[in-house]
Amino acid sequence: MAHRHLGRAACAALTALGALVLTGLPGAAAVEPPAPAPAPSSAETLGADRPSATVLRALQRDLRLTGAQAKARLVNEAEAGTRAGRLQNVLGKRFAGAWVHGTTSADLTVATTDAADVSAITAGGAKAAVVKNAMGDLEAAKAKLDATAGRALDTPVRYVDVRTNRVTVQATSSAAADTLVATAGIDRGLVDVKVSEDRPRPLYDVRGGDAYYIDEQARCSVGFSVTKGDQQGFASAGHCGKAGARTTGFNKIAQGTFQASVFPGQDMSWVGVNSEWTATSAVKGEGDLNVQVAGSVQALVGAAVCRSGSTTGWHCGTIEQHNTSVSYAEGVIDGVTRTTVCAEPGDSGGSYISGTQAQGVTSGGSGDCKSGGVTFYQPVNPLLSAFGLTLRTAPAQSGMPAPEDARTSGWAAGQVYAVGARVTYDGVTYQCVQAHQAQGVWQPRLTPALWQRL
């Protein structure tokens, strides 16, 4: 209505300007703000779209993949992790597990105890499996088995197998497993028994995967470089040394001292190094080439994982189960991850990495790298959290821009977050969809692969 008070010439000018703006010509007259840049994909956030040649070669060798299949697998696993985390948050107590499968991990399955969730799971980009037992019920049953098993070496391994929706007990005989189940008071229908003579043991006898020596006696392998304040160091297995034990490096030069160590119960430690050593983001890959670590986002069951150790070097396999309990002669270890990667004594403490994401440090296993074996690793995120450590990473690997200042509540770089955790960032609430230690460049608003805006 303001045009009523303007002259005819002014109205004509306004009309012409409006035409220019609406048609977008010329460019200098456009006032529309530029479209926001698309959010990075999960693969871009985690660096899975830029894997190192070392990782690709090992995946081709050990999982019998082509180069294209290896690349596709890493991307698919990164994307699946975000979808699975979002669905876990939606399903809540009905969630019964998630896993990837297929040569290139192209398929993601999410399990629920309620058939009414099928449409939501399908809409979330996954195949649905309707099962009887919720994850919480299976974990509660496993906890009873763990408490009963103690150090019993005739039932050395216990884990929740999300793909069978059962708790698996590995035992030296069916009778031993049956006795454990009965004593724990567990419904036998919840349990599968795997009979095996294998008896896992700590793999006794610094870049991730390099050798180090403890009090000039035992040898282990470096896990991942870490920092605590100004102190540099590395994470490794707890059974490798007790707090106060001194270490020398692969070159037998004085290196550092164990700052903290937990074993049994868990299998974690960290060594603070002296000023002659510098923590790096590298893990020793095949042919002595470096693989760079970009973060610690936990991979799904079924995902590919590679290990570096000072005895057998660089080998790959797949993640079989998380949250496994193992009875060693020295005591029970809880919360380790079971894998198909081989290892031998001296590989203990060494690095497990999925794509560019740190997963854990070698605890123990059975078999060897000639005939094949099973190994267990201590997940790295609980280790970082327990000791207040920050993983040393290579920022360029994350594919993210430099961090900016923002108002936050509950989110901080260096903090370890579990799926479902909520934080406020710049006045907006987000929920975690993949377990990880926050990196400075992984702010919630920039990483939909890790955080879902509520």
Active site residues: 239, 267, 348
Measure the CA–CA gap between 48 and 36, rounded to whole angstroms.
23
Measure the CA–CA gap between 272 and 245, rounded to whole angstroms.
11
Measure the CA–CA gap between 410 and 122, rounded to whole angstroms.
32
**What residues does 265 pair with on adjacent strands?**
333
Tell me which residue of 323, 296, 254 sits closest to 394, measured CA to CA.
Answer: 296
Q: Does the CA dihedral 55-59-62-66 come out positive or negative?
A: negative
**How open is the CA angle 106-111-115, to the nearest 5 degrees?**
120
**With contact defined as beta carbons under 8 Å apart, do 73 and 92 qualify?**
no
Does residue 170 sit in helix, strand or coil?
strand
- Cα–Cα distances in Å, from 335 out to 279, 327, 383? 27, 12, 11
Q: Write the secondary structure of 412-444 as one string of H (helix), E (strand) and C (coil).
A: CCCCEECCCCEEEECCEEEEECCCEECCCCCCH
Q: What is the pairing mode between strands 451-453 and 95-101?
A: unpaired
Q: What are the structure tokens assigned to 61, written together?
A: 């060798």
| N-to-C CA span, the chain | 41
Q: Does the CA dihedral 23-25-29-33 come out positive or negative?
A: positive
- Cα–Cα distances in Å, from 308 out to 105, 143, 238, 342? 23, 31, 17, 10
Tell me which residue of 274, 297, 266, 281 sits closest to 226, measured CA to CA.
Answer: 281
Measure the CA–CA gap between 67 and 64, rounded to whole angstroms.
10
Query: How many beta carbons lie within 10 A of that of residue 249, not counting itself?
Result: 18
**With contact defined as beta carbons under 8 Å apart, do 325 and 261 qualify?**
no
Helix then strand then coil, in percent of the chain rounded to 5, is: 30, 35, 40
Q: What is the pairing mode between strands 95-101 and 107-112?
A: antiparallel
